[in-house]
Structure 1
Amino acid sequence: MTRIAVLGPGGVGGVMAARLQRAGHEVTVIASERTAAVIASGGLHYTLPDGSGEASVEARSMLAEPVDVLVVATKAMELLSALQRVPVGLLGGTAVVPLLNGIDHVAFLRAELPGADVVASTISVEATRHRPGVVEQVSGFADVGVSLASDGGQLWAELAEGAGCTVTTVPDDATVLWRKLSFLAPLALLTTSAMASVGEAIASRSDLVRPLVDEAAAAAGTAGVAIDADVIETRLRSLPGGMQSSMLKDALAGRAVELDAIAGPIIGALGRDGARATVQAVSGILAATA
């Protein structure tokens, strides 16, 4: 049995906590005082493609003892404050697995948690937290990418696979991070700039689809990661028309959106002149959410 803590039991974090607990591991969720109290008293209720139930997890507002694996599933802009709930002294040798959007968080965590083994990893899943302690995996897939560049990568790959995820491993950090972002950025920016699900967004903003994909692929190329833009566009167009990106869900709910994490690396890699479609989409999102 592996001791696992999940920092941020929202949609993605809650679903992974449930999956890992069902796989037989000892799971603790770390959340705000209110959310931790709700889960401690009422449990973590989940809906997955193969059924619903209640995961037997411990809930705390602070990590109180060492764990083998710490899964970080906060929003990118909440990462710094969330880390205050995890004493650095408890993480010596712990495999820290951030399932965040973007690129820069891996280097940030390695600087902030020098004694931990930070594993570059991504997850592609549509998950929703309906309310504290109630989560649902909406998509039929939960795809996890893992870099084997750090010692904990193999451990995390085995845990994710044992929890029912489809796991792909790669030898380096850049590949796993940019493979996710090169698909997520066009999806998130397109849907949120149109304030519409993916099918409607593709129809109403067809002029943005290929430029967003090309810019994401070009940005990945600056990091030495080869992305086939044709494959990304085909994948976007094959998504269920009613699918909403997590950024769109946040915008519609009046929550902050992760523009820095998702659009920032592309603009940073190509400059504003080289990322004109991305800049245009960001401007549209800022206007729509002002």
Structure 2
Amino acid sequence: MLVLGAGALGSYFGGRALERGLDVVFLVRPRRAEQLARLGLVVESPLGDIRRPVATTDRAGPGFDVVLLSCKAYDLEDAIATIRPAVEAGACVLPVLNGLAHMDTLSAAFGRERVWGGLAKCAATLTPDGVVKHLGDWRWLIFGEQDGRMDGRAAALAAALGRTRGLEAEAVPDIQRRMWEKLVHLGTVAAGTVLMRASVGEIVRAGGTEFLLTLLQRNADIAAAHGHVMTPAFMETYRKLFSDAASTYTASMLRDLEAGGRTEAEHILAWLLEAARRAGVPGEIHALAVLHARAYDQRRAAGRL
């Protein structure tokens, strides 16, 4: 496995893959390479810490079965150029980027047969000193080949990774539906917490339950209009999540924003807004979230944060 980057998700899943005995190499920039050489890979997790030396490289090449692509969506074009030698030599791509916009771009670059669908359910963050902090017990890596094949390389990777305390890996035949489920969830927490600059629990305690549940339903309506109806069990699970007054849950987009960094608003919130408009779903909340994020981008570009 070649892991592009050793940020939060790349480090967590790459580290767990090492624990399972896979041959893992991290393709990283010089600063991160220096951290990994000095400290090793350090992941602090309630499901078991990871502290171990790792192999790194500064370029892709032949010899890999799969590339774990865990970059931010705004770095996708550079990532495609970086991993191209490995993919052209035979590797498949397992992207765990947020949203759905990247799938067409990757398929156009490498062909659908080389690009799997994938999603990660894992809250983690990379600190400036190079330590990855796993925030909670979410540990799922779900992926599948776009044609639904269950006897190929994706199934073999799922079997190799297995289901352990620190990682539950699963190959599925319906990865598009699973990715839409994640987008319904992610679009709700991202738009909600970014607009309010608060956690789910803080929004609920401020009287915002109806706001969050309306946003959840709008995202479900968008998915349904695009052929992916959310199940009653899914909706019930996330209605509970977005009604929890004790929740500290925030989107990574909010954490990026509060740190003064770039966000994936264009790839998630703006994409959902356009999908809502195509489907005839009311999009005023999404439009406000996009406006909020773009106004932040203006302030960031001008150095006024």
Query: What TM-score does the superposition give when structure 2 sets the normalisation length?
Result: 0.85
Give the whole-Å Cα distance in 2 for the aligned partners of 1:251 and 1:76: 15
Take 2:179 and 2:113, find their aligned partners in 1: how far apart are those partners? 19
Three-state SS of the structure 1 residue aligned to 2:127 is: strand
Question: How far apart are the structure 2 equivalents of 1:224 and 1:283?
Answer: 28
Tell me the alpha carbon deviations over residues 48-103 of structure 1, each in whole angstroms, 9 at most, x when there is no partner.
22332423321122123321111000111111112332233554432210011011
Counterpart of 1:203 in structure 2 is: 205
Matched, 1:212 2:243: no
For residues 167 and 246 of structure 2, what CA distance do their matches in structure 1 show?
A: 20
For 1:182, the aligned partner's letter is: V
CA contact (8 A) 2:37 2:53 kept: no
1:150-193 per-residue CA deviation (whole Å, 9 max, x = no partner) reads: 54331333244356423455423320210111101101111111
Q: How does 1:122-133 map to 2 (within 5 A)?
A: 122-131=119-128, 133=130
1:62 to 1:248, Cα distance in 2 relative to 1, 3 A? same
Q: 2: CA distance between counterparts of 1:62 and 1:93?
A: 16
Contact (CA 8 Å) 1:28, 1:59: kept in 2 or not?
Answer: yes
| SS in structure 1 of the partner of residue 24 of structure 2 | strand
Please give the alpha-carbon distance, in whole angstroms, between the structure 2 residues aligned to 1:91 and 1:69.
Answer: 12
Tell me if the contact between 1:174 and 1:223 (Cα under 8 Å) persists in the aligned partners. Answer: no
Cα distance, 1:10–1:158 mapped onto 2, change above 3 Å: same
Distance 1:91 1:132, change over 3 A: farther
1:189 paired residue number: 191
1:135 aligns with 2:132: yes
Hey, what does 2:228 align to over in structure 1?
225
* Equivalent residue in structure 2 for 1:109, among 106, 125, 137: 106
Of residues 69-78 and 58-67 in structure 1, the stretch that sits farther from structure 2 once superposed is 58-67
Partner Cα distance (1:15, 1:89) in 2: 22
> Pairwise CA RMSD of aligned residues?
2.4
**8 A Cα contact 2:204 2:245, kept in partner:** no
Give the count of matched residue pairs: 287
SS in structure 1 at match of 2:162: helix
- Determine whether 1:282 maps to 2:283: no
CA contact (8 A) 1:96 1:118 kept: yes
Q: Which residue of 2 aligns with 1:158?
A: 159
Preserved contact between residue 67 and residue 91 of structure 1 (Cα < 8 Å): no
Distance 1:260 1:43, change over 3 A: same
Contact 2:95-2:117 at 8 Å conserved across structures: yes
Cα-to-partner distance string for 1:251-280 (whole Å, 9 max, x where unaligned): 100111111222233222221862222112
Structure with a larger share of its residues in strand: 1
Contiguous gaps of at least 5 residues in structure 1 = none
Match among 176, 180, 197 for residue 178 of structure 1 = 180
The structure-2 alpha-carbon separation of the partners of 1:38 and 1:65, relative to structure 1 and needing over 3 Å to count, comes to: farther
In the alignment, what sits opposite 1:266? 272
Tell me whether 1:248 sits opposite 2:254 in the alignment: yes
Shift of 1:246: 0.5
1:107 Cα deviation after fit: 2.0
Which amino acid counterpart does residue 261 of structure 1 have in structure 2?
H
Contact 2:3/2:14, CA 8 A, preserved across alignment: yes
CA distance in 1, matches of 2:129, 2:116: 27
What are the equivalent positions in structure 2 for 1:12-51 lying under 5 Å apart?
12-51=9-48
Q: Extract unaligned runs of 5+ from structure 2.
A: 300-305
